[in-house]
């Protein structure tokens, strides 16, 4: 259990800190932002009293979600990363939250930043009460920040990311955006809803948009510099796949699932996935995948949240045809229900996919030889 929260009385050496709670959405530059904040954490603390907790080597705070929301949402990958069983994952999440409390007691920061896109979900009344009960004793102010991305570009980006680790992509929901925002409104903290499309037009991207909006001048410069340094060093995050690589990833995962083989933690599978990603960049003809127009239209027609976000927060998305928004029949049927294959959502160059597939054994063999040679010359 967390220690007693700091006291705001005159006898207390420091008041409770403020909390900046960044909740995503997923696929809105969250990984790059977390990486930059993690890299700049010592400067933020030493020079500005801003604490960015270290809960993982990648700078993410995903492991807080089970404890904060009392939910794992059948996230098998997160369970595996946090101990292997539901009980172990819940216990590890509680320990992560306790570490933040210990940090606050020891460091006495003026502000804490927590960033976790896993918190982006509709909260029920019990989760709202639980979150307030956990945050209020420790923080004198809480500001929630969320970046929103249009459902068309977010769908294809999410499909790419999911197919790197799963056999199927998520078909999403036409109302989740509004449900999430309304539940965080009920939380009662100030909520800043921002456009990812606008933020990404900043010369230095979403990281700079966040830093310039929420950090002091010198702090924002350091965070932006860390993001720029990582980009120049080639440490890209969540690199894009072509439609051909998405197609091969799905086929690979489906073949594994068909024989009951694991889709996580398996060295040969990891090696094949890595080979596909590398070859995708090496073999000529790489292009970013584009949704088939019919699929983009379905996504717009079924989404009943976009006009609500426009009217309530003034956020619009250039690629959205608002005359189509929310015009799908209200018959309880999901028009995306039968969409399961990569070839259904985007055009796949099968000849290029075949070139990549044929080159996989050679790529894996070359990697093994490099490892052997490195070991020989050490």
CA 130 to chain centre: 23
Contact 306, 317 (CB under 8 A): yes
First to last CA, the chain: 47
Collapse the DSSP code of 148 into the 3-class scheme (helix H, G, I; strand E, B; otherwise coil) and give the result.
strand
Mean pLDDT for each 10-residue chunk of the chain (378 residues)?
59 78 94 93 95 92 94 71 82 95 96 96 96 97 96 91 88 83 97 95 91 90 85 64 95 89 76 92 94 94 93 95 92 82 96 95 77 56
Kindly report each contact of residues 363-368 with a partner whose C-beta sits within 8 Å and lies 24 or more positions away, as own/partner: 363/275, 363/278, 363/279, 364/271, 364/272, 364/275, 367/271, 367/274, 367/275
Instruction: List, in sequence order, every residue forming a beta bridge with 145; answer none if it has no partner.
Output: 22, 192
- Structure confidence at residue 240 (pLDDT): 86
pTM tops 0.85: yes
DSSP symbols for 152-191? HHHHHHHHHHHHTT-SS-----SSHHHHHHHHHHHHTS-E
- Structural class in CATH, domain 18-151+174-232: alpha beta
DSSP symbols for 31-62? HHHHHHHHHTHHHHHHHH-EE---SSTT---G
- Structure confidence at residue 11 (pLDDT): 46
Longest dimension (CA), the chain: 73
Q: What residue ranges do the domains of the chain occupy?
A: 18-151+174-232, 243-288+346-371
Contacts for 330 with CB less than 8 Å, ≥ 6 apart = none
Contacts for 304 with CB less than 8 Å, ≥ 6 apart = 174, 175, 178, 325, 326
Reported in sequence order, the residue ranges of the chain that DSSP labels E, i.e. its strands, are: 18-22, 50-51, 111-115, 141-148, 191-195
Q: What are the backbone dihedrals phi and psi of residue 24, each rounded to the nearest 5 degrees, phi first?
A: 105, -140
Rounded distance between C-alpha atoms, residue 311 and residue 314, angstroms: 6
């Amino acid at each position: 259990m967390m220690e007693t929260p700091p006291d705001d009385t005159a006898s207390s050496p420091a008041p409770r800190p403020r909390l900046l709670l960044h909740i995503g959405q997923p696929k809105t530059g969250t990984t790059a932002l977390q990486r930059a904040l993690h890299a700049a954490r010592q400067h933020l603390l030493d020079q500005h009293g801003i604490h960015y907790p270290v809960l993982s080597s990648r700078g993410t705070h995903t492991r807080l979600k089970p404890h904060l929301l009392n939910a794992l949402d059948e996230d098998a990958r997160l369970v595996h990363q946090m101990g292997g069983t539901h009980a172990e994952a819940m216990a590890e999440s509680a320990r992560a939250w306790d570490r933040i409390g210990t940090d606050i007691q020891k460091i006495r920061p003026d502000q804490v930043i927590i960033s976790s896109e896993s918190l982006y979900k509709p909260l029920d009344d019990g989760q709202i009460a639980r979150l307030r009960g956990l945050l209020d004793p420790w923080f004198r102010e809480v500001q929630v920040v969320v970046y929103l991305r249009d459902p068309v570009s977010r769908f294809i980006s999410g499909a790419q990311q999911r197919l790197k680790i799963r056999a199927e992509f998520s078909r999403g929901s036409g109302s989740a955006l509004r449900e999430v925002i309304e539940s965080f409104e009920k939380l009662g903290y100030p909520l800043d809803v921002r456009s990812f499309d606008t933020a990404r037009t900043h010369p230095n991207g979403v990281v700079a948009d966040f830093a310039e909006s929420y950090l002091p001048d010198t702090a924002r410069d350091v965070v932006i510099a860390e993001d720029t340094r990582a980009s120049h060093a080639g440490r890209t995050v969540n690199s894009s796949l072509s439609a051909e690589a998405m197609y091969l990833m799905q086929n690979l995962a489906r073949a594994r699932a068909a024989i009951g083989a694991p889709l996580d933690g398996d060295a040969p599978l990891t090696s094949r996935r890595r080979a596909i990603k590398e070859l995708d960049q090496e073999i000529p003809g790489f292009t970013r995948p584009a949704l088939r127009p019919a699929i983009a239209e379905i996504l717009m027609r079924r989404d009943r949240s976009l006009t609500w976000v426009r009217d309530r927060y003034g956020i619009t998305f250039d690629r959205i045809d608002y005359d189509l928004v929310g015009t799908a029949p209200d018959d309880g049927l999901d028009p995306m229900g039968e969409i399961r294959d990569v070839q259904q959502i985007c055009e796949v160059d099968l000849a290029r996919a075949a070139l990549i597939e044929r080159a996989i054994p050679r790529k894996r063999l070359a990697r093994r030889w490099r490892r052997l040679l490195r070991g020989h010359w050490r």
